Copies of this chain bind each other. A is one copy, B any other.
Amino acid sequence: MSNEPHHTTAEPESEPLRVTRRTALRGAGLASLLAMGTGSARAQRTVLNADTHQSQKETTEPLPSWNDGQAKQAILTFVEAVTTPDSPDFVPPAERIATFDNDGTLWVERPVYAQLAFAIDRIRELAPQHPEWEDEQPFKAVLENDLETLAAASQSEVAELLAVTHAGITTDEFEAIVTDWLNTARHPRFDRRYTELAYQPMLELLSFLRANEFKTFIVSGGGVEFMRQMSEATYGIPPEQVVGSTGKTRYEVRDGEPVLVKLPEVDFVDDEAGKPIGIHKFIGRQPIAAFGNYVGDREMLEWTDAGDGPRLLLLVNHDDAEREYAYSMDEDLTGETSDESSQPFIDVAEEKGWVVASMKDDWEYVFPFEQAES
């Protein structure tokens, strides 16, 4: 059971936005993404700049980009409780595990997941060597700009697409391709690198938790081999603390050098019920705090909420079409709503007493560059 102070709800005025805003803006974004292309692999492998998390305000006040309100207060109250040695809620540092969904929780996931944008670019680049893709889905959809088919893809379907597309290359080669793409691809709406589109308040939250001896993990449906190329420079989360969907590999010695070769098979899908399974498998300890933004995070938050002791469960509500996007926690990239439950996920969250943070009301800045420009 969680303690009362950690369970606050979104302010009522943010609610009308939560399930209504729809796909006009996103549709345009997806079209422009497909029209423009978002980058290409470069011959030279370069190192990602750590610009996003270095641009944080130098300040002694924690969470400066969080407006005063119930969400910020819930975070501060929780961290105070678990770190105060004589508090009944004190948790030893080794057990301060916090897990974060990635897409839509730590960085932008619209108009499409960054990993899907990457997959699209890769398929276009590799298409000349694969004439058979002209008649084969989902390759055909990419080559024909078929938005509907593509946008309905889940993170695990994108992971599978990447696995199939990159079978036979080594993990080192794949990582170099991802790094090059992250260094060059631009987001179609913001015209910035994807790693510049991490959320400033979440970067501050990650730093604040680590300053309080939390160990921060990503637990995402995205592919680990993709996320690990940006997690350390962007979020300060090292590769070994990234849990995600995995593909199978085979160990080989090629010309005397050991390599891992990517196989065209998904090994593990880290989404929905896969999230607690992934936490158990990769981390082996129950988190005391978990952060998400969509219905696929439900099982991770439930699992984190189970048992005794203080907990912080927080969902980011995308209710800010002005500065980012507005969409409900239940809908996919095409605007289709999950029909698993008749109850909107935001209502489930509020019933359970989880914190719902409104992007519009709780965040003074969304992106690091806004802050730099202000």
**Which residues of chain A have a CB within 8 Å of any CB of chain B?**
94, 97, 171, 215, 217, 224-225, 228, 232, 238-242, 246, 249-251, 253, 257-258, 260, 267, 273, 276-277, 280-285, 299, 302-303, 306
Q: How many chain copies does the complex carry?
A: 2
Contacts of A240 in B (CB 8 A): 97, 215, 217, 240-241, 282-285
Q: Which 5 A-B pairs have the closest CB atoms?
A: A239-B284, A251-B273, A240-B283, A228-B284, A258-B302
Check A277 against B260 for contact (C-beta < 8 Å).
Answer: yes
> Which of B241, B251, B253 contacts A277, CB < 8 Å?
B251
Check A224 against B284 for contact (C-beta < 8 Å).
Answer: yes
Contacts of A284 in B (CB 8 A): 224-225, 228, 239-240, 242
Q: Chain B's nearest CB lies how many Å from the CB of A238?
A: 6
Check B303 against A258 for contact (C-beta < 8 Å).
Answer: yes
Q: Chain B's nearest CB lies how many Å from the CB of A63?
A: 25
| Residue ID in chain B nearest A307 by CB atoms | B257
Q: Chain B's nearest CB lies how many Å from the CB of A20?
A: 30
Given A258-B302, A276-B260, A302-B253, A239 contacting B283 (CB threshold 8 A): yes
> Which of B228, B257, B280, B283 contacts A260, CB < 8 Å?
B280
Check A306 against B238 for contact (C-beta < 8 Å).
Answer: no
